[in-house]
A and B are shown apart, each in its own frame.
Chain A
Amino acid sequence: MESVSTSTLATEPVPIRERAWLSPLLGVLDSLLIPAASLVASLAVFALFILITGNPPFEVLSEMYRGAFGTWFSFQNTLLRAAPLMLTGLCTALPARLGLIIIGGEGAMVVGGVAAAATGVALTDSPPYVVLGAMMLAAMLVGGLWIGLAGALKVFRGVNETISSLLLAYLGIALLNHLVEGPLKDPESLNKPSTRHIGEANMLGNLPGLDVHYGLLFGLMACVGAWLLMDHSVFGFSGRIVGGNSRAARLSGLGVPKLVILTCGLAGAAAGLAGMVEVAAVHGKANASLMTGYGYTGILVAFLARQHPLGVIAVAVLLGGIGASGGLLQRQFELPDATVSVLQGIIFVVLLVGESFRGKWKLSRLLGSPA
């Protein structure tokens, strides 16, 4: 017994040293191992579920693939759905690095959308790039303020940020309804109260050669930017210290309140930008249709991505794909809309379970173990 354990201890470090050049790669693979295994396991559970509903699992899964990635149209559909999720995913993922659980991305997105629409309407006769630039700025500012407020309440008053951000989301939605049904209402929008249109010329178009609007580019840029900030800057490093132990961070002289409020502000800005894209690329105005639920799905995205900004991109595409294929499932197999929610739920639970194996299963250990 004793001899076995000592021998393991003795042999383990050797192969890793031998394969030193491999270790960064293995590190990346390691972090992907559990999500990948969880995904496969989820699909297996989902297939079982499909079987119980009396449908052929393999055909359903292959049809899902066709609906999400199988054709050029499907893939663009997936990317289009993924675009807002990248931004709202960041709204939860960024503060999570500081140990904060923010779930009010929907509110920041909605108020960002209203701010963008109001700005666009006010500037409607200016050149399009001015209008779009100002809309973007306004949306990010207001969205940032919204989540920044949750951060400020946390550091100055000790209010739980999860609850306050959720309540702020309800406030944001109420504010949207008040503004589009009151002060900002276009008198011609009788049965669907909306703001005025920002003007066709000011609409955000599609990316060149694609049937996907610029929101995708914004999402990708925001995720990469967030990754550089959180993983490769002093700011991000300080933030992670706060996340690790906020009192220790304070003792070591870090400006914790500033870090928290700024990070929350950036998170809200990302969600606000998502609202601006909804207005500028899709609706042209703000109305109740801004309540898309993207803000809430963003929470799922962030958690599935383990709060990693680049992971957010991958998960957003995955969930976008599941969303894109959901319609086909309803139409081909007459499965209810909730099928897609079932799959999302299975993935979420399996991933959480899978996380408990983190550190126990390692490629480096598997590969490095004596043959």
Chain B
Amino acid sequence: MVTVSPQSTRRTVLLAFTLSAFGLVACGKKTESSSEPAAAVSAATPEAAKKGGDLTVGFIYVGPKDDYGYNQAHAEGAKFVASMPGVKIREEEKVPESMEVQKTMESMINLDNAKLLFPTSFGYFDPHILKLADKYKDTTFLHCGGLYTEGKHPANVGSYFGYIDEAQYVAGVVAGLTTKTGKLGFIAAKPIPQVLRNVNAFTLGARSVNPKATTKVIFTGDWALPVKEAEAANSLADQGVDVLTSHVDSPKVVVETAERRGIFSSGYHASQAALAPKGYLTGAEWNWAKVYEDYVNKVKAGEKWDHLVRGGFKEGYIKMSPYGTPVSDEAKKKADEAKAGLTAGTLIIFKGPLKDNKGKEIIPAGKELGQRDIELEKMDYLVEGVEGSTS
């Protein structure tokens, strides 16, 4: 009759991962004129270094840190930080995006003496991190999501993010060459820009090698709805889809359901290969260890750190899951080529002529929207080849 179930009640998770348009303007300016000692770069608090003791780094997750998804990807980065010399980590999982996270941050600062915090959920930034950063100026707050705006946000705050649509494009190439029915399935949480960008990149990747391939997309409405995700996965399998991928907090259910139905799956956030030894093709993964290592080293040494960092394959912020057994040599070759092109910057995912799935022209022929183009941050369409609707 009465249950208090954190699973069903927990605060939904926003993990989306982009820039506000302002953030991008600020950072675009900065990276392009990196010679100028911008105010956007500031000295880390040298306190920890001065004391000579270990630097205590706090990691906060919105869900369980073994969720095979968003939180696990961050926890894997945290594990790497724990292995660094002179660093101690403190972790707290399932912290909702409310007063709780403010108190967790304060508790880490007051009781654990943490000098560097990584509150990893998208929704932690405003108002929680901003409020605490004003109060604890000696502590460095680094947030995942790229929401930092120079001049507007406190100097002890930074933000990082990755262009994981590159990895989804490569996964799309693999899916496009593996599918037998030509029907791909994408289970997504919400029709927000970052998610749409992944759906579109995956589809464009698939259609670059298999022009007949289509992607059926289902929006579940929230970040962690395991039952709906399973229903969506089954319904897509019933419709003849034979490769499933997703953008939800934890792709666990989607990958497991695909395996049970005997179809292929492609992962997201972290590797779900262990859940689907037969059908797992590859997956778009974060590589937060790289981002965290850079930041921790700089903060520890009291060096300046960037307020806004971002990257894709080239910067090492994202990676692919190792190819699974069903992936053919041809698919591996094409995928590796795509990855090399994206790493070198010669392959552009969003370029004209590009139509949306209602036939309207989105990008005219001859125009290219590069990885860092602000326009991509406002994406509100599904490209041709996607079956589904944003509203």
Contact = CB atoms under 8 A, between A and B. Distances in A.
Contact of B16 (A191, A303, A336, A344): A191
B104 A327 contact: yes
A191 B14 contact: yes
A273 interface: no
B390 to A, nearest CB: 11
Interface in B80-131: 90-100, 103-104, 106-108, 110-112, 122-123, 127
Interface in A156-209: 162, 177, 181, 188, 190-193
Interface string B164-188: 0000000000000000000000000
Interface in A285-321: 287-289, 291-293, 295-297, 299-300, 303
A67 B107 contact: yes
Interface stretch (B2-10, B235-243, B275-283): B2-10
A192 B16 contact: yes
Interface residues of A, number: 48
B18 interface: yes
B140 interface: no
Given A81-B103, A190-B377, A289-B123, A296 B9 contact: yes
A233 interface: no
B221 A80 contact: no
A342 to B, nearest CB: 11
Nearest to A325: B107
A190 B112 contact: no
A293 B96 contact: yes
B127 A283 contact: yes
B193 interface: yes
B100 A81 contact: yes
Contact of A292 (B4, B91, B96, B378): B96
Given A192-B123, A300-B2, A291 B16 contact: no
Contacts of A190: 18, 20-21, 192-193, 377-378
A121 interface: no
A243 to B, nearest CB: 17
Interface in A50-103: 66-67, 71, 73-74, 77, 80-81, 101, 103
A291 B123 contact: no
Contacts of A341: 4, 6
A292 B108 contact: no
B1 A293 contact: no
B76 interface: no
A191 B192 contact: yes
Nearest to A177: B221
A336 B92 contact: no
Given A80-B99, A331-B112, A297 B94 contact: no
A188 B23 CA distance: 12
B304 interface: no
B242 to A, nearest CB: 31
A284 interface: yes
Could you say which of B1, B18, B122 has the most chain A C-beta atoms within 10 Å of its C-beta?
B1
B123 to A, nearest CB: 5
Contacts of A287: 123
A338 B94 CA distance: 9
Could you say which of A77, A278, A300 has the most chain B C-beta atoms within 10 Å of its C-beta?
A77
How many of chain B's residues touch chain A, expressed as a range?
A: 35 or more
Given A296-B5, A297-B4, A299-B2, A327 B92 contact: yes
A147 B222 CA distance: 25
B64 interface: yes
A22 interface: no
Contacts of B9: 106, 291, 293, 295-297
Contacts of B103: 77, 80-81, 324, 327
Interface string A341-367: 100100010000000000000000000
Contact of B98 (A103, A282, A328): A282
B194 interface: yes
Given A282-B127, A289-B123, A300 B104 contact: no
B25 to A, nearest CB: 13
Nearest to B60: A327
A333 B166 CA distance: 39
B130 to A, nearest CB: 11
Nearest to B146: A191
A126 interface: no
Could you say which of B2, B8, B94, B127 has the most chain A C-beta atoms within 10 Å of its C-beta?
B2
12 contacts: A74-B111, A106-B9, A181-B190, A188-B20, A191-B18, A282-B99, A296-B9, A303-B2, A327-B107, A338-B6, A341-B6, A344-B4
Given A190-B193, A331-B92, A341-B4, 16 more contacts: A66-B111, A67-B107, A74-B107, A77-B106, A190-B377, A191-B194, A193-B190, A289-B96, A289-B123, A293-B10, A323-B100, A324-B103, A327-B104, A330-B92, A331-B91, A337-B6
Top 8 A-B residue pairs of the complex, sorted by shortest distance between their CB atoms = A293-B9, A191-B16, A337-B94, A331-B90, A289-B97, A296-B9, A288-B12, A77-B103
Interface of A: 66-67, 71, 73-74, 77, 80-81, 101, 103, 106, 162, 177, 181, 188, 190-193, 278, 282-284, 287-289, 291-293, 295-297, 299-300, 303, 323-324, 327-328, 330-331, 334, 336-338, 341, 344, 348
